[in-house]
Amino acid sequence: MTEAEHGAGLPAPEPQAHAPEHEAPLEPPPEPGKSLADRLYVPAIVQGLGKTLKHFLQPKATVEYPERSIYQKEEADRAIGHENARYRGEHILVKDAQGREKCVACLLCMSACPALCIYIEPEPAPAEWKDRERRPKVFELDMLRCIYCGYCEEACPCDAIRLTPKFYQPSSSRTERVYDKTRLLENNPEWQRPQRPKK
């Protein structure tokens, strides 16, 4: 069967429509950095100064720590503004009603500390102290190793060590973060109360 006979009775194929010729391409936009203003960084400088002035005139959203604390009442509009009694901050050694340290050097806090940051060296208590046999000659607490777990506070039978809401204080050397007995007794005077405050 010839090609003509095979195509007999079939509609003739429609001529293919030619694709329209593409329009002339538009001129590309000028590349950034070509103009004189871009070369002088004028738009970028103006935009940066505008954004800086915009944020400069807005109310501050940060607290100038350590001069200010997020727990102070004056910072209530941008921070917490009140102390949280359950916050575990820096430690204190508690004084009794006579102004003596309540610690009896039983070493329970040193044994309970998982970070091994407490070192106590006991000594006999003065003879006029009839309520105890020992007191700490050396009491050191390494704040860099402390994990603020509160185990020392829970282990102490005399309520002699507490974690207060005092926020972490920055320092410039490692030795400043090792608190001795004198510093722990005077660390947070506001929380030096013989009786434990209710939480």
- What residue ranges define each of the domains in the chain, with the CATH number in brackets? 91-191 (3.30.70.3270)
By mean pLDDT, which of 2-6, 29-33, 174-178, 192-196 is the weakest?
2-6
Q: What pairs with residue 124 in β-bridges?
A: 134
In this structure, what are the phi and psi dihedrals at residue 64, rounded to the nearest 5 degrees? -80, 75
Share of the chain above pLDDT 70, in %: 82
Q: Which of 27-31, 43-47, 153-157, 168-172 has the highest mean pLDDT?
A: 153-157
Q: Which of 70, 108, 107, 103 is nearest to 89 (CA)?
A: 70
- Mean predicted lDDT score pLDDT of the chain: 83
**Predicted pLDDT of residue 68:** 82
Q: Could you give the 3-state DSSP secondary structure of residue 124?
A: strand
Question: Which tens digits make up the pLDDT trace of 50-94?
Answer: 999 988 888 877 888 878 888 888 888 888 888 777 788 899 999
Q: Is the pLDDT of residue 148 over 80?
A: yes
CB atoms within 10 A of CB 185: 19
Where are any strands of DSSP class E within the chain?
91-93, 118-124, 134-142, 161-163, 178-179
Helix (H, G, I), strand (E, B) or coil at 122: strand
The answer on pLDDT for 117 being more than 90 is yes
Q: Which amino acid is at 164?
A: T
